Chains A and B, each alone.
Chain A
Amino acid sequence: AQSVTQLDSQVPVFEEAPVELRCNYSSSVSVYLFWYVQYPNQGLQLLLKYLSGSTLVKGINGFEAEFNKSQTSFHLRKPSVHISDTAEYFCAVSVFGTQGGSEKLVFGKGTKLTVNP
């Protein structure tokens, strides 16, 4: 079974500082990886995804993530954060189905990013 571990439940950072949110996954098969952001009382918005190809993935709002197969990691980074980046961030993994069914997403527990002035 697949699982996702987000190592930090909370990450406080000052505005304009860089940030890295860590994500590790476990799976015995190939996976697809996603990062979502959730603002208070809202649904999830996709930041970026890794399906195949280049291991460095660029997403919206200046975020990027690097897929590292040997370390089974997919850490999210931003070189300079803004107050508006304060939100909950979820890493998720889906497994390519062997049949025509739908792939399910398995989420990590989330990391609360707080950007302070």
Chain B
Amino acid sequence: GAVVSQHPSWVICKSGTSVKIECRSLDFQATTMFWYRQFPKQSLMLMATSNEGSKATYEQGVEKDKFLINHASLTLSTLTVTSAHPEDSSFYICSASEKRGRARLTYEQYFGPGTRLTVT
């Protein structure tokens, strides 16, 4: 259980175009989804947190108009990189978590396999 998928797994796009990445929770309802960016040989940097039905919360330094996040349902979140440039090339990883019951227990984040974006 607790499987998260991402699509596409890799994408190449031309500079100036936009690209959409999907993140889906396959067997649970993801009340919260997270988007991370990972540069080669570096750690994951949180870009934004999105709760279903509300606006995403972006981390400091992340341009919300460039990285559009939509979490329209409990199983799907999308990240759209608008007007992509070569410096946006990176590995983008999403994760999803669910809040179980009414207890305020911390919950595990389940990670997708990642999307490799190359902007030429």
Contact = CB atoms under 8 A, between A and B. Distances in A.
Contacts of B31: 102
Most A Cβ at <10 Å: residue of B34, B43, B97, B114 = B43
30 contacts: A32-B106, A36-B111, A41-B91, A41-B116, A42-B113, A42-B114, A43-B4, A43-B6, A43-B95, A43-B113, A43-B114, A44-B44, A44-B95, A90-B43, A96-B104, A96-B106, A97-B104, A100-B104, A102-B34, A102-B49, A102-B51, A102-B97, A104-B46, A104-B49, A105-B34, A105-B46, A105-B109, A107-B43, A110-B42, A112-B41
Interface residues of A, number: 26
Contact of B111 (A44, A101, A104): A44
Interface stretch (A18-26, A45-53, A60-68, A71-79): A45-53
Interface string B28-52: 0001101000000111101001010
Most A Cβ at <10 Å: residue of B4, B95, B104 = B104
